[in-house]
Structure 1
Amino acid sequence: MKNTTLYKKFFVAVNGSNPEQKPMTVALSGGVDSVVLLHLCHALRTAQPSYAIEAVYIDHGLSVESKSWQQFCHDLCASLKITFKTCSVNIEQKARHSLEAQARDARYAALDELATPGSMIVLGQHGDDQLETFLLRLKRGSGLNGLASMRAQRVLESGRTCIRPLLNVSREDIETFARLFAIKHIEDHSNFDDRFDRNFLRNHIVPLLKSRFQGFLPSALRSIELLQQQQSLIDEITAQDLQVCMVSLDKLNLQVLASLSALRQANVIRGWLANLRVNMPSKVQLEQLLHQALHSKEDAQLSILMGNGVIRRYRQHLYFVCDSETPQACNNVTCEPTSLSDGRVLITKQGKGVRLPQENEQVSIQFGVMNVKIRPCNKPGRNTVKHWLKEAGVPSWQRNQVPLVFYNEQLVQIVGFYFEHTVFMPQQGIYWEFLSNE
């Protein structure tokens, strides 16, 4: 294959994104973009045989022609001696959800599952796709992160990397390349359906802008690149602020957060929720969240539904709480590791703790019995579990998750916090603690 400008751009982009020359899994739809991408990967393998290439076709079931497209992709890969994989995904249209977004999510999940372990997924989005994405997000009122559009690299939840080596290539260059080398491809006639916003932009708005303003696409791509750089700088600042504000993955220190400017407070919340993989709140939701978290009375009950959990406040800390059931009690507990119904494991150790159980005493682990009383070591008087956990600063929604160790009917340990003073042994005792995941 001739050393064209397009090939040079592709070669530089791929080697820059994949210096270790990991195997590459091409997302192949049969359209001109992905077919040219496959030919470019094939040429790269020819020039550098160390590259391993495979292709994956995902049948979304959204077109009656999908099976013929699959056959076309199969035959193309066979002619190029490239391993071909395929699978079908079912997409159920959900109310208030974009069909395009649902298809995209299903496609990424399927690609990730089918791709060879350790390979990088190679996607065929190009410069015009980038511009369309920018305009769509501009229409939605997106912030800087959204307007930065598609990145040249994306890491999936599984840890696998996706690369887009054609983002600085125009649609015209790809189509010219296909004509020059007589590369066959399929035409998806749904691309001409202007009911879809992306198609309307592609078929009418972008061509008009490019014909009116010379060099419009490269100028727009340069602006998007600058937005991405600015977002990267903000991400660095946010990461530093998160480090000082975050007590744990699901817990923020509100006193530290309050010391930051309003803009940095908002970025910390966004970064915190992003780490928890929670969808970003709207501008209004974020403002309300921060106002209630930082300015409500100390005893005010903060409960904001967010994604698959709830944001709560307790004693100058903000928590992200997922619904969880009270674990089941465990009877006839021994000194062997005890697996709880929520997946945690309790183990026993020797040292400061309680005496060994007597032969006539049954050991059990119970949860949620907040009215049982205990007199902890070094504490004045007896009081309820609820009282002592509140004094220890345990939020109300976490108290039912704390294991309580009983010898028959006597509470002897609140795991992680207190021992009953009448059975306490300062040296030759035993105690229960959670098995660390580290």
Structure 2
Amino acid sequence: MLYHDFSQFMTTHIQSPQARCILALSGGIDSRVLLHLLARYVRDNQCPAMAVHVHHGLSSFAERWVERCREWCAEEGLPFQVAYIQFDTQGKGLEAAARQARYQALEHYIDEGDLLLTGQHRDDQLETFLLALKRGSGPKGLSGMAASMPFHQGRLIRPLLHCARAEIEAYANTHQLSWVEDESNQDTRFDRNFLRHEVMPLLVERWPHFPQAVQRSAELCASQEALLNELLQERFQAALQPDNRLSVRCLLDCGEAVRAQILRMWFHQFGHQMPSRVQLEHISHQVLQAKSDANPRCRIGNHEVRRFAGYLHYIPVYADISDWQCQIKFNHPVELPDGLGTLTLAKGALLTECATEKQVEFGLDKRCLSMPLWVSFNPEGLVASPVGRKGRHKLKKLFQEYRIPSWQRRRMPILLCGQQVIAVAGLFVDEHFSGSDYELIWSTDTSALAHQCQNWDV
């Protein structure tokens, strides 16, 4: 019966013969049963599939789990991959951090149209619902896990979501499957384990159909959330810009309830952590309604909401690279920190060879190369005279005039000779060093942002 339901589910969700099925294989009983079911389905239908095990390194048995998963995939005839990850728990608990890192690792295996299979079942849905209830969630949180949802370039599907844990255990025993037991699953210091071992048995003993009732409630909440989103879609699209900025004016024209829902819709499209009610209120009151010369922000996990030039931006929390410095020489690309690309001093002829790259070019006089040059990201105390401007101006003032967002102002490479600014990559060359002998080339997507910023409305 379980395989019949699984087969029907898969046939419904596979939209193309080329779509691959990628199984997230932890090695626990749920994903082990899913591996067995998927292998049977592949043999019956000849669809491409593979399994991926994410190695967190949290358990002393992690290497043993890798080998067991490898053995089971070999027995079932499915390709097997291991994704090794490291993560930190800054701003979140261990469970949440591990889950986020796991899904980020799995994204690398999902191409357009592929399906990621995970093993959550009805009892997991009950736990998720109760955790959302504990957090005081609204319809979005209480809708729990969806049987199918967009994921990266494909979709994430949960074929066992309507199955009870008891059904999965019965299937595993009937087919004499083995699996691994994660010792951390018994640790009731974790909220989910506490619910699983201490709370849910009491609820189900008192009300045997409680899991099914919760499943119906979750589906009703999902339906209400979908209705809200449909009704507000026109307003949301009016506020949303092509680069995912959100119009402050459009948001302030809405009532608080509508504004909060539009913000939730905005966060949902990023696929990251959803803000709490307190965070939404902070965005609505402190960030949206801040004075025009303020620099408000609201941190949500590893990202933050910032306001600039009449729009909300959702950006990563960047590392502080103000103290970074590196000498730069002719035709020797400098690798910039924190994924900011490369900076190169080159002759103009190089530009035709690199025409397809996203880059910003500036002309420099050959006198520059007679001095030791450095790259820095700290504008503190520096002044410059951009070509076409009269007088010398502090970089802080120039960044404001060029409408560079505050969070980008210490992420733009500054070319220096001592404390003399030669150029700011992406913005200008100092008039005393302007020429046509060499080019300053910043090869990175971020450099395009500098020019875009100049066209934003204040």
Q: Would you call these one fold, judging by a TM-score over 0.5?
A: yes
The 8 Å contact of residues 154 and 163 in structure 1, kept in 2 or not, is answered as yes
135-144 vs 330-339, which moves further: 330-339
- 1:325 is matched with 321
Amino acid at match of 1:143: G
Q: TM-score, normalised by structure 2?
A: 0.67
Which of residues 188, 193, 196 in structure 2 aligns to 1:198? 196
For residues 419 and 10 of structure 1, the distance between their equivalents in structure 2, rounded to whole angstroms, comes to 63
1:369-388 deviation per Cα after TM superposition (whole angstroms, max 9, x unaligned): 55444343443433333332
2-structure distance, mates of 1:59, 1:352: 43
Aligned-partner SS, 1:402: coil
For residues 101 and 387 of structure 2, what CA distance do their matches in structure 1 show? 56
Quick one: structure 1 residues 364 and 238, their matched pair in 2 at CA, closer, same or farther if it must change by over 3 Å?
Answer: farther
> Which residue number corresponds to residue 167 of structure 1?
161
Residue 415 in structure 1 maps to residue 425 in structure 2:
yes
| CA positional deviation for 1:391 | 2.3
1:17-28 mapped onto 2 (5 Å cutoff) = 17-19=13-15, 20=17, 22-25=20-23, 27=25
Instruction: Report the Cα distance in structure 2 between the residues aligned to 1:48 and 1:205, rounded to whole angstroms.
Output: 41
Using a 3 Å threshold, how does the CA distance of structure 1 residues 221 and 417 change in structure 2: closer, same or farther? same
SS at match of 2:365: coil
Correspondence for 2:336 among 337, 340, 346: 340
Query: Residue 401 of structure 1: SS of its match in structure 2?
Result: coil
The reply to whether residue 44 of structure 1 matches residue 44 of structure 2 is: no
Letter in 2 for 1:389: F
Larger CA Rg, structure 1 vs 2: 1
- Tell me how far apart the structure 2 counterparts of residues 207 and 167 of structure 1 sit (CA, whole Å): 21
Shift of 1:296: 3.0
Q: CA deviation at 1:263?
A: 3.3
Distance 2:408 2:224 in 1: 39
Given the alignment of the two structures, is residue 298 of structure 1 paired with residue 307 of structure 2, yes or no? no
Q: Which amino acid aligns with 1:48?
A: N
Within 2, Cα distance between the matches of 1:9 and 1:110?
29
1:357 deviation in Å? 1.9
Partner of 1:362: 371
Instruction: Give a deviation string over 1:258-288, Cα, whole Å, max 9, x none.
Output: 2344334334544555566653332123212
CA RMSD of aligned residues (A): 5.2
In 1, Cα distance between the equivalents of 2:384 and 2:422?
8
> Could you tell me whether the CA contact under 8 Å between 2:90 and 2:301 is conserved in 1?
no
- In structure 2, the residue corresponding to 1:255 is in which secondary structure? helix
Q: Tell me how far apart the structure 2 counterparts of residues 416 and 71 of structure 1 sit (CA, whole Å).
A: 50
The structural deviation recorded for 1:205 is 1.2
Gaps of 5+ in 1: none
Query: Given the superposition, is the C-alpha separation of residues 395 and 360 from structure 1 closer, same or farther in structure 2, using an over 3 Å criterion?
Result: closer
Q: SS of the residue aligned with 2:330?
A: coil
Structure 1 residues 57, 203: CA separation in 2 closer, same or farther (over 3 Å shift)?
farther
| Residues 286 and 296, structure 2, Cα contact 8 Å, conserved in 1 | yes
> Which residue of structure 1 aligns with residue 452 of structure 2?
none
Give the match's secondary structure for 2:163: coil
1:139 has 2:134 as partner: yes
The 3 A distance-change label for structure 1 pair 335 and 150 is: same
2:288 is equivalent to residue 280 of structure 1: no
**Scaled by the length of structure 1, what TM-score is found?**
0.70
Residue from 389, 392, 413 that aligns with 1:403: 413
**Is the CA contact (8 Å cut-off) linking 1:41 and 1:53 kept in structure 2?**
no
Contact 1:144 1:231 in 2 (8 A): yes
